[in-house]
Structure 1
Amino acid sequence: MVEGPASGLGMGHSHFPPIEDYAFLSDCETTTLIAPDGAVEWLCLPRMDSPSVFGAVLDRDAGRFRIGPAGVDVPAARRYLPGTMVVETSWWTPGGGWLVVADALLIGPWHHEDERSMTHRRAPTDYDAAHVLLRMVRCVNGQVQVDMDCTPAFDYGRLAPRWSYTGNGYHDAIAEPAGDGPRLHLTTDLNIGFEGPTATARTLLKEGQRRFIALSWSTHAPPTTMKEAVRRLSWTCHHWQHWLDRGTFPDHRWRGHLQRSALTLKGLSFAPSGAIVAAATTSLPESPGGERNWDYRYTWIRDTAKTLWAFNSLSFDWEANDFFRFVADVAEAEQGDLQLMYGVDGERELTETTLDHLSGYEGARPVRIGNGAYNQRQHDVWGAIVRAVDLHTGPHHRVNDRLWRIVQTQVEHALEHWREPDQGIWEVRSGPQHFTFSKVACWVAADAGARIAAVRGEDTLAGRWRAAADEIRADVLANAVDERGVFTQHYHNKALDASVLLIPLLGFLPPSDGRVRNTVLAIADELTEEDMVLRYRVDETEDGLSGAEGTFTICSFWLVSALVEIGELSRAKTLCGKLLSAASSLGLYAEEIDPHSGRHLGNFPQAFTHLALINAVTAVIKAERAMVGNHVVP
């Protein structure tokens, strides 16, 4: 048994695939990334924020699990089976063979005895995770030599595995780490052999032949026959298709982007609690080879309202309600003293450490787990919660007593602290400032709170909060608008910042206001590279970090929505089309895009980006239809 860094595993494949070339799978408890060559290079167990057992995306010696044709890495095609989170990779081999591998994290169905082992806080349903990664191999044409190499590296690559047979011939094997950690069970109709830390299999498949490999990590039984593997893969496909069919999508050329974004957001949700993580990964770099590498496997409170709006706009009320209940539980427990982020089960302490034994993606170090920004002071959280309640209750704004207590607490915290500086929406690691967006978010808390209070008949409170909202707005207009009539990043500089694109989207000022129009157009013209939006220019902003960064795709989609708001529909459509064409071949987005190469940067896939895509595409479609209805050609 090897303990300590599991180096020297000898997997080869020293190059890293482009971030955007990974496929993303989820069972709503954990997630995985699969490289184009058929290798699982990211899988954390048993939860999406747990230590990795396959971590080659962060170090080529941190574990990978490949299935594919011998000697052929580059696939001919990859796709998601329509409406699912099942990915299919196809290779054409030099000898004329055609091989297809289908990968899925299985969903149910549950057998009766499985229910006794569930540890969830709710009863199991037919839609719970099966805790199985299923890999189905099929030879479509000719014949293909197929290789399987499964090399776990537990605890972020620090512990090598010990393999043993279970007693069922050469078809079942167990991998165990030294000390605590998940126990992996490999079940297949291939013959398994062991080569040090690697479980291997080789076979020649001829036209029409199939094989399956199931990797499982709980007491739930994996499929043990091809017939059962096919049945359970079919069930998983139907689950995702039935889930997607619950949504409402416009009959539009961009419909597919909305559907893939919805599936991605669902895949980034943690079913036992309803939380949604910002991304599936940690430490994929925002700057190639740089230090801007963060752990995004947590829930950010500021995205609450945007998440609710996106799910509700597509008619996924169940998911919206699940996420809202998670956030409301956190808000109630914290009694107003909200952090900006939480763990997937509401954990408060997300202590940041570095994994210095890992080389990082393409040498980008440090590799971080945990996120030290969790205890920063950020003032946008209070507005996010109150706006979420406002959206959740709909146009009548009636809240029950529990939600009313949450609203009161959040508004009063916003009014108590809005005059103070904070670290802002971008979580800068330099000194606090009077960030414009943070002030606007406090205005949101007071403004939405006043509406809710008025409906409850709390007229005195509604009046006080409305007056406070007016005071905050006056302060922002007096201190955060430059001589051109453009909103600045914070009170003490003239820099542009993409966060102020949210001003018209939140109703702080009407889109017809000259300052709103000036700001949107200034950002479109001056804070962009190849039409894509930077969150700010790093040479104009002291953020406590070194190095450059790419354009932030969420900010570019914000610009699309803001352009629609100010009546620049043609420009919004052009930018939206460009952004949609920049998606990965599987319709996914990382946090950033290099505007010159189109390369994706940062953690992947990014929930923020897919949220903003849904909002932007929906805004463009709505505006298009309104203009057609008015017989105006855009």
Structure 2
Amino acid sequence: MALRIEDYALIGDTHSAALVGRNGSIDWLCWPRFDSGACFAALLGTPEHGCWRIAPADPAASVTRRYRDGTLILETTFRTGDGEVVLTDCMPPRDGGPVLLRQISGRRGRVAMELDLALRFDYGRNVPWVTRLPEANGIRAISGPDMVVLHSPVPLKGEDLRTRARFEVAEGQTLVFELIYSPSHLPLPAATAAPETLLAHTEASWRGWSDRVQAAGPWTEAVRRSVITLKGLTYRPTGGIVAAPTAALPEEIGGVRNWDYRYCWLRDATLTLLALLQAGYTEDAVAWRDWLLRATKGSPSQIQIMYGIGGERRLMEWEANWLPGYEGSHPVRIGNAAHDQLQLDVFGELMDALHQGHLRGLPNSDDAWQLQKALLEHLATVWQEPDEGMWEVRDGRRCFTYSKVMAWAALDRAVHGIESFGLSGPLDRWRALRAEIHADVCRHGYDASIGSFVGSYGSRELDASLLLLPAVGFLPAEDPRILGTITAVERDLLQDGLVRRYRPEKAQDGLPGSEGVFLACSFWLADAYALTGRKDKARALFERLLDLRNDVGLLSEEYDPRARRMLGNFPQAFSHVGLVNTAYALARSGGQSKPVRSGTGDGSEPR
């Protein structure tokens, strides 16, 4: 059975990523891209579905681990009664094909080690044909279009459709294992001439990038680890950032909310852009912005809520029914049917991201503005329609309040662009439509009897997305309706001081079961506290969220306060984006902040 989610760590090369367990087992790896079929899928099944374990033969060995400072190079230290070894794992930057390095270094004594490799392509379904390399140690595994080669410093043996080895590592000794992916029609990839040099190059590359992070007061190191994680979730060829490198990790252990997150959501656009810009990574922000523009180009009526890492649009959802799922959480979903949903908030998220980039000096183009104008003209015809909302419900469309607010935000950013940057457009018409949407939300999205905005028109149920209303500038933070909404969220959506998306007994996704608290929403509450001047509460909640990170500083999508364990796909970009933005908001003003997303920022629409 797979480890607890928090017992994994991420390594990656900005093309794909792997999860390495505290036990020295790599249980998830998709090659050659984030969205490729997994060749290690034990995370969603058993070791027979693919893994690669290197660890002491002594099952009682103690374990500690850390990342090398400023890098995505993982060091796992094993201590036994006979000695101590360090396992160093990394995926070097790609100059050629994908490579995974595993280095064993003896620190003390002499430690008996075991290697167990089970390569299984297509999410654990296909057992490859394995042959020995013609020279030295090593194997080649081929399954259809895929080939993986292992170069080993120790003898290997085949056993029960797996590759195994037993060896010892003495003090001062270093052994390097190299796993290389290649399309099967290409020549056999050679081993790296000097793997130690490649490891040093990987460290220098990460340090050169992460050392540029902008200070965030006492939380600078937490921000650095989060932006390194975001970099590790970036697909370098296009600039797209996946929501997570995993698929089908459950929002409830044994439940059915098991989604594939290896795609790029427009929902994350603005907050991701702001996190990168505040941390000082303008080039990465430009790459993300350019991915957004390329992915969304086309007919405005066909805009999607998410796209593939290259901008792909068909992300068909299917079930890998040969996998039992993480701790029995079934079905295992690959692909994501939500790509075909209508979510009106994405218009606002895209317009806001482009606007915030413009405000912060990113180069703009007439072509980008023409696309935005076309999207706004389409939005003007559909903004009144019900949609599936940012939480991607699957039981029918509604008029979600946040969706309408972000339709307002789309018009607001366009108006601000004309007024502040001299862009061309139908200013009077967009001003009038902006005012109409604002009035509509205040009339239908606010319930005076409970003193709060509500999740959808005609409902009395709350939705954590309402915490974003002051952040986007819809109303000032001190407006009684905003203060009432924050109070209502505290009353109805808090569990052990953390925020649920909505009440589980009033599930909005049409699926049975429950879920954990949503970490990004908890960061939004900390932001709301800061915006309303409650700096002590903001800081206390933020510090609480920092304590939920695992031992190497990673966050999942959700958390179970009762079981005290992580839930959902991991590591989750949106959680780390929330951490970065909240850290800068608190550091910038000693705990009290101003909205960083708003266009007009004054909530000046008719009420």
Q: TM-score, normalised by structure 1?
A: 0.90
1:323 alignment partner, SS class: helix
Match of 2:72 among 81, 85, 89: 85
Check the 8 A contact 2:530/2:591 in 1, yes or no.
no
The aligned runs of 1:322-361 (5 Å cut-off) are 322-335=287-300, 337-361=302-326
TM-superposed deviation, 1:91: 1.0
Q: Paired residue for 2:43?
A: 57
- Contact 2:305-2:341 within 8 A present in 1 as well: yes
Find the counterpart in structure 1 of residue 176 from structure 2.
Answer: 212
Q: Spell out the pairing of 1:239-388 with structure 2 (5 A cutoff).
A: 239-250=205-216, 252-335=217-300, 337-388=302-353
**Secondary structure, counterpart of 2:42 in structure 1:** coil
Compared with structure 1, are the counterparts of its residues 395 and 196 closer, same or farther at alpha carbon in structure 2 (3 Å cutoff)?
closer
- Aligned partner of 1:120 in structure 2 is none
Q: CA deviation at 1:556?
A: 0.2
- State which of 111, 128, 133 in structure 1 corresponds to 2:100: 133
Q: Distance in 1 between matches of 2:508 and 2:517?
A: 17
Aligned partners of 1:53 and 1:152 also within 8 Å: yes
CA offset at residue 161 of structure 1?
2.1
Aligned counterpart in structure 2 of residue 76 of structure 1, from 41, 45, 63: 63
* Aligned CA distance change for structure 1 residues 396 and 249 (closer, same or farther; 3 Å): closer
Q: C-alpha displacement at 1:303, in angstroms?
A: 1.1
From the superposition, tell whether residues 334 and 233 of structure 1 become closer, same or farther in structure 2 (CA, over 3 Å). farther
For residue 392 of structure 1, give the secondary structure of its aligned residue in structure 2: helix
Matched, 1:167 2:134: yes
- Of the candidates 189, 199, 221, which is equivalent to residue 153 of structure 2? 189
Q: Quick one: which of 233, 237, 249 aligns to 2:199?
A: 233
Q: Distance in 2 between matches of 1:524 and 1:466?
A: 34
1:149 and 2:135 aligned:
no
Amino acid at match of 1:537: R
Secondary structure of 1:292's partner?
Answer: coil
Aligned 1:382-421 pairs, distance under 5 A = 382-394=347-359, 399-421=364-386
**Structure 2 SS opposite 1:506:** coil
Distance, in Å, in 2 between the alignment partners of 1:416 and 1:74 is 64
Q: For residue 172 of structure 1, report the CA deviation from its aligned partner.
A: 2.4
Report the alpha carbon displacement of residue 524 of structure 1 after superposing the two structures with TM.
2.3
Q: How many Å apart are 1:514 and its aligned residue?
A: 0.9
Give the aligned partner of residue 5 of structure 2.
Answer: 19
1:246 deviates by 2.4
1:438 aligns to what SS in structure 2?
Answer: helix
From 51, 67, 86, the counterpart of 1:100: 86
Does 2:473 match 1:473? no
Alignment-mate amino acid for residue 426 of structure 2: L
* Alignment check: 8 A CA contact 2:317 2:335 kept: yes
| Cα distance in 2 for residues equivalent to 1:66 and 1:253 | 37
CA distance, structure 1, for counterparts of residue 64 and residue 472 of structure 2: 42
In 2, Cα distance between equivalents of 1:282 and 1:398: 35
Mark the CA change 1:54 to 1:287 in structure 2 (over 3 Å): closer, same or farther: same
CA deviations on 1:9-44 (whole Å, 9 max, x unpaired) are: xxxxxx321101101011011100011110110001
CA distance in 2, matches of 1:460, 1:167: 67
Alignment of 1:517-528 (within 5 A): 517-528=483-494
Contact 2:586 2:592 in 1 (8 A): no
Residue aligned with 1:421, SS:
coil
Look up the SS of the partner of 1:217 in the other structure: strand
CA distance in 2, matches of 1:343, 1:445: 23
Q: CA deviation at 1:538?
A: 2.2
CA distance change for structure 1 residues 77 and 452 in 2, over 3 Å: closer, same or farther?
Answer: same
Structure 1 unmatched ranges of 5 or more: 1-14, 115-129, 628-634
Measure how far apart 1:543 and its partner are.
2.2
> Which residue of 508, 531, 538 maps to 2:474?
508
Provide the residue aligned with 2:574 in structure 1: 608
Q: 1:224 to 1:332 in 2, by over 3 A?
A: closer
- Of the structure 1 ranges 596-605 and 425-434, higher mean CA displacement relative to structure 2 is found in 596-605
1:67 aligned partner: 54
Matching of residue 203 in structure 1 with residue 167 in structure 2:
yes
Q: Is the 8 A contact 1:385 1:410 kept in 2?
A: no
Deviations 1:91-123 (A, max 9, x none): 111x33101100000125x4xxx5xxxxxxxxx
Q: How many Å apart are 1:589 and its aligned residue?
A: 0.8
Decide whether aligned partners of structure 1 residues 575 and 29 sit closer, same or farther in structure 2, where only a CA change above 3 A counts.
same
Q: Give the aligned residue type for 2:224.
A: Q
- Partner secondary structure for residue 539 of structure 1: helix
Classify 1:406/1:29 alpha carbon distance in 2 versus 1 (closer, same or farther; 3 Å). Answer: same
Q: Residue 447 of structure 1 aligns with which residue?
A: 412
Aligned mates of 1:543, 1:372 — CA distance in 2: 13
Looking at structure 1, the residues matched to 24 and 508 of structure 2 have their Cα atoms a distance apart, in angstroms, of 42
Distance 1:223 1:233, change over 3 A: farther
CA RMSD of aligned residues (A): 1.8
Structure 2 SS opposite 1:286: coil
| 5+ residue gaps, structure 2 | 594-607
- Matches of 1:253 and 1:448 in 2, distance apart? 33
SS in 1 for 2:452: coil
Distance across 2 between alignment mates of 1:419 and 1:348 = 25
Is the 8 Å Cα contact of residues 286 and 362 (structure 2) preserved in structure 1?
no
Partner SS, residue 76 of structure 1: strand
Q: Secondary structure at the match of 2:141?
A: strand
Tell me, what secondary structure is at the counterpart of 2:506?
Answer: coil
| Equivalent pair of 1:131/1:217 in contact (CA under 8 Å) | yes
The code of the aligned residue for 1:358 comes to: L
CA pair 220-467 structure 1, distance change in 2 beyond 3 A: farther
Q: 2:469 aligns to what SS in structure 1?
A: helix
After TM superposition, give the deviation of residue 181 of structure 1 in Å: 3.4
Decide whether aligned partners of structure 1 residues 157 and 353 sit closer, same or farther in structure 2, where only a CA change above 3 A counts: same
Partner of 1:127: none
Distance 1:86 1:526, change over 3 A: same
Superposed displacement of residue 596, structure 1: 2.2
Question: What is the CA distance between 1:520 and its match in structure 2?
Answer: 1.4
One-letter code aligned to 1:269: T
- Tell me, yes or no, if the aligned pair for 2:536 and 2:591 is still in contact at 8 Å: no
Q: Is the alpha carbon distance of 1:318 and 1:74 closer, same or farther for their aligned partners in structure 2, counting shifts above 3 Å?
A: farther
Give the whole-Å Cα distance in 2 for the aligned partners of 1:351 and 1:500.
30
Which of these residues, 511, 522, 533, is aligned with residue 545 of structure 1?
511
Which one is further off, 538-547 or 580-589? Answer: 538-547
- Tell me the equivalent position of 1:623: 589
| Partner in structure 2 of residue 438 of structure 1 | 403
Report the 3-state secondary structure (helix = DSSP H, G, I; strand = E; otherwise coil) of the residue aligned with 1:106: coil
Displacement after TM superposition at 1:75 (Å): 4.0
SS across alignment from 2:582: helix
Q: Percent identity?
A: 37
Secondary structure at 1:596 match in 2: coil
Alpha carbons of 1:224 and 1:309: their partners in 2 closer, same or farther (altered >3 Å)? closer
Q: What does residue 599 of structure 2 align with?
A: none
Does residue 43 (structure 1) correspond to residue 9 (structure 2)? The answer is no
Q: How many residues align?
A: 587
Match for residue 117 of structure 1? none
CA contact (8 A) 1:188 1:224 kept: no
Which has the higher mean CA deviation after the structures are superposed, 477-486 or 45-54? 477-486
- Does the residue aligned with 2:510 lie in a helix, a strand or coil? coil
